[in-house]
Amino acid sequence: MTDDSKTIAVKYSDQSTTVNLGDRVEVRVWFRKRQGRVVYVPGISELNEELEYNGLRCVGIRMDTSALLATPVLRKTRSLKKRFRFIVRDASPCKFITPESREFNDRGSGVAL
């Protein structure tokens, strides 16, 4: 992670709402709308090498079904794709991704959108 990536906020596709840990979001997957929570944000979360490597930076979203989605941050706009929609800020406890988390290696699950 470069120093400037820590200071530049990731935004939703509307370009005005900043992505924060714990946000409730809705995503279209295979023509269906599903909900989840943001559990990893580059520049906010501590570096996890499964979600940030070789210049690629991903936002991690834990779906209500427990599946983990990793979606890349678009480089030009520093935002998420339009399929991800912010619903509400949620301060209730949830399991965030840590530097030691190995979601994809240990569980072999997850989807990159």
User: Can you give the residue ranges of every domain in the chain?
Assistant: 3-91
Q: DSSP string covering 72-92, please?
A: EPBTTTTB--TTEEEEE---S
Q: Does domain 3-91 have CATH number 3.60.90.10?
A: no
pLDDT digits (tens, 9 = 90+) for 14-67: 999 999 999 999 998 888 999 999 999 999 999 988 888 888 999 999 999 888
Structure tokens at 73: 């941050």
Instruction: Tell me, yes or no, if the pTM score tops 0.85.
Output: no
Do 1 and 22 meet the contact criterion of CB atoms below 8 Å apart? no
